[in-house]
Amino acid sequence: MAKLNLTLGEVRDLVGEGVIFGHADFVCRSIVRLDHAGPSDLSFVKGEKYFAAAEASRAGALVVPQALGGTQAHQLVLSDPHAGLARLLDWVAERQRGKATGIDPRATVAESASIGEGVAIGAGAVICEEAVVGDRAVIDANVFVGCRSVIGDDAVLHPNAVIREDVTVGQRTIVHAGAVIGSDGYSFVSDEHGHRRVPQVGGVVLGDDVEVGALATIDRATLDETVIGRGTKIGDMVHVGHNCRVGEDVLLLPFTAISGSVEVGDRAIFAGRSGSSDNLKIGAGARIGACSVAFKDIAAGETVWGNPARPKMEAMRIQVLLGELAEMRRELRELRADRKERKQG
């Protein structure tokens, strides 16, 4: 349950729009899902699919896409209730975080590091030589920031995140717990003596407003930089290989695995458990379906599915045929038996 203690009018002011039906001074104690909401709670209705549940709810106030006639609840009508919920929850999250500024005495900060104003650095954090931490950045407990790395203004690094050396983290970028940015790429040269590791001496650049999920890994480049573009959102346990260049506003859903030296265009989407082989180009706006693996370049705007990934309709036709294989096999056996009988006759 997310505590609010705001009037409906204050909620409208926070989300920046809306028309109130009912009383603007109604106090919303908490934000609660429709089926759990009580007379002092605020709940959200994303669309027409939920209208019946909203009218049956005991919520004292509702955020809705249009005014509803079958409820006594106070209503705040928004053009996009889901976006409004996101803005309101941003405010709630900031209050819940409640980080005091300053450097915890149990943190280790190198003398050559540069620390901005209003920074919060938690217990056990390590800031190495020549690192730069921007204004109002939050470095949670046990975070490691390597030599010469740069953490942008208002960035948030959650507990146990690892930012290796020569990594740039953009402004307002969020790195969740346990993520590793700048680990060595998987690169080996094999000969009769075994496998010799190829050192990765480049860096990683995360653009502004990027989000990296828990336990995700982004490998450093061999020579230059692995790049994640502005606004890209990376889910939990995603792997981005060395030398990749991921564009702006890309979505990499949880468990995605992208091999080294792949170029991903702006606004492309990799659905859950999808991936690609190395040295590919994924066009802007391309969509890789869940559990699909790309083994060749994907054109801009194309939607692919399957393993190996194919154009979606082709892949779906193949899937339908797979379901018919047992019947086709039975019919083939009958045809062969009939042919054999005719030959014998």
The stretch 247-253 carries a mean pLDDT of 98
* pLDDT value at 345 more than 80: no
Domain span(s) for CATH 3.40.1390.10 in the chain: 2-97
What rounded mean pLDDT belongs to the chain?
95
* pLDDT value at 98 more than 70: no
CA distances from 142 to 134, 139, 328 (A): 18, 8, 60
* pLDDT value at 99 more than 70: no
pLDDT at 233 (0 to 100): 98
The stretch 3-24 carries a mean pLDDT of 95
pLDDT at 142 (0 to 100): 98
- Edge-to-edge order in the sheet of strand 239-240: 108-109, 126-127, 144-145, 162-163, 180-183, 217-219, 239-240, 257-258, 275-276, 293-294
Query: For residues 285 and 94, which has the higher predicted lDDT (pLDDT)?
Result: 285
Q: Considering the chain, what percentage of its residues have pLDDT values greater than 70?
A: 99
The stretch 149-171 carries a mean pLDDT of 98
pLDDT at 83 (0 to 100): 92
Query: For residues 248 and 47, which has the higher predicted lDDT (pLDDT)?
Result: 248
Backbone CA torsion sign across 19, 22, 25, 31: negative
The stretch 149-166 carries a mean pLDDT of 98
Domain span(s) for CATH 2.160.10.10 in the chain: 103-314
Q: Determine whether 82 is an active site residue.
A: no
Residue 93 binned pLDDT confidence (cut-offs 50, 70, 90): confident
Task: Render pLDDT for 200-239 as a digit per residue (tens, 0 to 9).
Answer: 999 999 999 999 999 999 999 999 999 999 999 999 999 9
Q: Which residues are CB-contacts of 226 (< 8 A; sequence separation ≥ 6)?
A: 185, 202, 203, 204, 205, 218, 219, 220, 240, 241, 242, 243, 244, 245
User: Pick the catalytic residue: 74, 176, 239, 242?
Assistant: 242
User: The whole model's pTM is what?
Assistant: 0.86
The stretch 300-326 carries a mean pLDDT of 91
CA distances from 136 to 100, 102, 131, 195, 297 (A): 11, 10, 15, 44, 41
Taking the C-alpha atoms of 35, 38, 41 and 46 in order, what is their torsion angle to the nearest 10 degrees? 20
Residue 316 binned pLDDT confidence (cut-offs 50, 70, 90): confident
CA distances from 47 to 36, 62, 67 (A): 18, 12, 11
- Domain 103-314 belongs in CATH node 3.20.20.70: no
Task: Identify residue 64 by its one-letter amino acid code.
Answer: V
User: 12 near 76, Cβ under 8 Å?
Assistant: yes
Residue 338 binned pLDDT confidence (cut-offs 50, 70, 90): confident
pLDDT at 244 (0 to 100): 98
The stretch 36-45 carries a mean pLDDT of 95
The stretch 10-37 carries a mean pLDDT of 95
Residue 1 binned pLDDT confidence (cut-offs 50, 70, 90): low
Task: Render pLDDT for 44-59 as a digit per residue (tens, 0 to 9).
Answer: 998 999 999 999 999 9
Residue 123 binned pLDDT confidence (cut-offs 50, 70, 90): very high
User: 168 near 203, Cβ under 8 Å?
Assistant: yes
Task: Identify residue 202 by its one-letter amino acid code.
Answer: G
Identify the CATH assignment for 2-97 out of 1.20.1290.10, 3.40.50.800, 3.40.50.720, 3.40.1390.10: 3.40.1390.10
